């Protein structure tokens, strides 16, 4: 990865805020280049922060950074608190004295696709070797730092580590199929051998979370010194197969056997005529309210330790949520149910007064939802790709209609890349008719005064010049990549979350062009 050295003045830049005119890029950590199968928190991440700084950018937005779940999705994690252990940099462990240089050689080569299976196979052996070295010397320099980390995070860390340990001891089944004493967390009924094995295995997961936290704090400090803030992503719902649900079953609408009575999703929309059947359990908002939303406030406290701002995924669900009877074949069978509404955000405001939130308010938006967003002065999202078709909010996605208090995007991780969208080279069959495609192209070309040759830069220019306080561009759009670089296709389970940068793609020329447009848009710090 090539990048200019940061401007010497960058170290004096003030902390970014969503209330100041600025811009940034969207890139998940797994998409960074480098060996070992997936991107991580090491040298390539710091070089990317350098690139953003040199290009005049104030924000690096990511997807959720928890352990990947089914289909390697960051949105179906086994924990909404833990960090993804595959993001731990082995190179940094060499620098920290926990591995030797030969340990990190010969791993999966850097490529255009993440290889999670190869990364797990390669990294797990090295992480366990680092754990053995850490454990063998109780006086090494890491122990004091580890004890501080554990004291700060033990409330969620013990549950997560024990959950992961039990899943390893019983890999053939999820927690719903465990013996009753394990499923219900009746620790006193556990046999001594299970307790011993689980306890030993859990300690390893304490260690990997310590490594993730240590490397995360290093990356955040590196980015902050260059005037780059981090934007995180908090999914509203959590995976059924998670320590979150196993450890706090009373927070969720489950039957007596622990299985969901209703599950989550969204009704038919732009992405799918059958809607999307996510399958997450719904919350018992009444139980959470009785405890002043303690679990959610802890979750946001963890996010605030990692990020300067947080995107609340599926903000609509805080006002109303699509409730689908368990066992349904599609999301069509659902109905709208109430969310916690303003009461929840009052509690969040009291606890996290300084935490900046972005409302992902895309989808079936009603006046109730926009009123909730605006009551708490949360910036919503404007996606330029949605401005030229039949979306019910298309007019509001046109840059001349943006309010200042919003975050503008060319596209998101759930959309095709801008070039892919414009050329329709990777659309799902039937997603858009030929007539719709041609109409959207014509509307885009006319509005942007574009000849279509560099449609991605024309759309980037439009959001950077818009009145939106914040503008975010997916890196795939900066590079002008087609549908092969798409990150996710909603409603599909294979081939997602795999796109990666190649080391040579972020060039000085690209950074200079982005810097020029950022300056022209009045978005330099």
Annotation says 92 is catalytic: no
User: Of these residues, 233, 313, 356, 361, which one is catalytic?
Assistant: 313
d(C-alpha 151, C-alpha 208), whole Å: 15
Half-sphere exposure of 506 (CA within 13 A, CB side): 29
Evaluate whether 113 touches 500 at the Cβ level (below 8 Å): yes
d(C-alpha 269, C-alpha 391), whole Å: 9
Of 1, 30, 205, nearest in space to 108 by CA = 30
Annotation says 377 is catalytic: no
d(C-alpha 416, C-alpha 427), whole Å: 8
d(C-alpha 520, C-alpha 13), whole Å: 19
User: Of these residues, 96, 159, 360, 477, which one is catalytic?
Assistant: 360
Evaluate whether 264 touches 279 at the Cβ level (below 8 Å): yes
User: Of these residues, 103, 292, 414, 424, which one is catalytic?
Assistant: 414
Sheet arrangement for strand 406-409: 356-359, 309-312, 229-234, 59-61, 22-26, 470-474, 406-409, 380-383
The three-state (H, E, C) secondary structure of 267-310, written as one string: CCCCCCCCCEEEEEECECHHHHHHCCCHHHHHHHHHHHHHCCEE
Annotation says 360 is catalytic: yes
Number of residues that this document lists for the chain:
525
Please give the backbone phi and psi of residue 364, each rounded to the nearest 5 degrees, phi first.
Answer: -80, 80
Q: Give 359: exposed, middle or buried? Use CB within 10 Å, 0-12, 13-18, 19+.
A: buried
H/E segment holding residue 471: strand 470-474
Residues catalogued as catalytic: 313, 360, 414
């Amino acid at each position: 990865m090539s990048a200019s050295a940061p401007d010497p003045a960058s170290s004096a830049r003030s902390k970014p805020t969503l209330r100041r005119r600025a811009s940034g890029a969207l890139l998940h950590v797994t998409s960074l280049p480098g060996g070992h199968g997936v991107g991580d928190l090491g040298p390539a991440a710091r070089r990317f922060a350098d690139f953003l700084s040199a290009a005049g950018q104030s924000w690096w937005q990511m997807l959720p950074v928890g352990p990947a779940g089914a289909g390697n999705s960051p949105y179906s994690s086994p924990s909404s608190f833990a960090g993804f252990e595959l993001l731990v940099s082995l190179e940094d462990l060499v620098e920290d004295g926990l591995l030797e240089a030969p340990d990190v050689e010969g791993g999966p080569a850097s490529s255009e696709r993440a290889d999670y299976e190869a990364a797990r196979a390669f990294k797990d052996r090295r992480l366990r070797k680092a754990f053995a070295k850490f454990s063998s010397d109780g006086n090494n320099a890491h122990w004091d730092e580890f004890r501080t980390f554990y004291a700060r995070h033990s409330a969620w860390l013990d549950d997560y580590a024990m959950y992961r340990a039990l899943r390893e001891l019983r890999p053939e089944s999820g927690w719903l199929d465990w013996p009753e004493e394990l499923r219900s967390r009746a620790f006193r009924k556990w046999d001594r051998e299970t307790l011993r094995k689980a306890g030993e295995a859990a300690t390893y997961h304490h260690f990997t979370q310590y490594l993730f936290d240590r490397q995360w704090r290093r990356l955040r400090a590196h980015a902050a010194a260059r005037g780059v803030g981090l934007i995180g992503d908090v999914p509203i719902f959590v995976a059924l197969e998670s320590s979150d649900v196993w450890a706090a079953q009373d927070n969720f609408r489950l039957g007596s056997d622990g299985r969901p009575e209703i599950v989550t999703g969204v009704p038919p929309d732009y992405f799918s005529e059958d809607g999307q059947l996510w399958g997450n359990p719904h919350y018992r908002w009444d139980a959470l309210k009785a405890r002043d939303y303690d679990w959610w406030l802890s979750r946001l406290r963890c996010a605030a330790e990692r990020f300067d701002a947080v995107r609340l995924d599926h903000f609509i669900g805080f006002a109303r949520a699509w409730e689908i009877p368990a066992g349904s074949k599609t999301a069509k069978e659902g109905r709208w149910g109430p969310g916690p509404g303003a009461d929840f955000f009052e509690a969040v405001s009291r606890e996290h007064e300084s935490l900046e939130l972005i409302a992902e308010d895309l989808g079936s938006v009603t006046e109730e939802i926009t009123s909730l967003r605006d009551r708490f002065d949360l910036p919503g999202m404007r996606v330029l790709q949605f401005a030229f078709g039949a979306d019910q909010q298309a007019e509001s996605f046109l840059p001349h209609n943006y309010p200042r208090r919003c975050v503008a995007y060319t596209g998101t991780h759930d959309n095709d890349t801008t070039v892919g969208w414009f050329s329709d080279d990777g659309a799902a069959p039937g997603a858009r008719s030929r007539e719709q495609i041609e109409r959207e192209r014509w509307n885009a070309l006319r509005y942007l005064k574009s000849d279509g040759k560099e449609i991605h830069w024309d759309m980037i220019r439009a959001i950077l010049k818009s009145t939106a306080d914040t503008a975010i561009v997916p890196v795939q759009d900066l590079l002008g990549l087609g549908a092969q670089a798409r990150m996710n296709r909603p409603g599909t389970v294979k081939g997602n979350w795999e796109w990666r940068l190649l080391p040579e793609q972020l060039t000085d020329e690209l950074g200079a062009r982005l810097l020029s447009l950022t300056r022209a848009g009045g978005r330099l710090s």
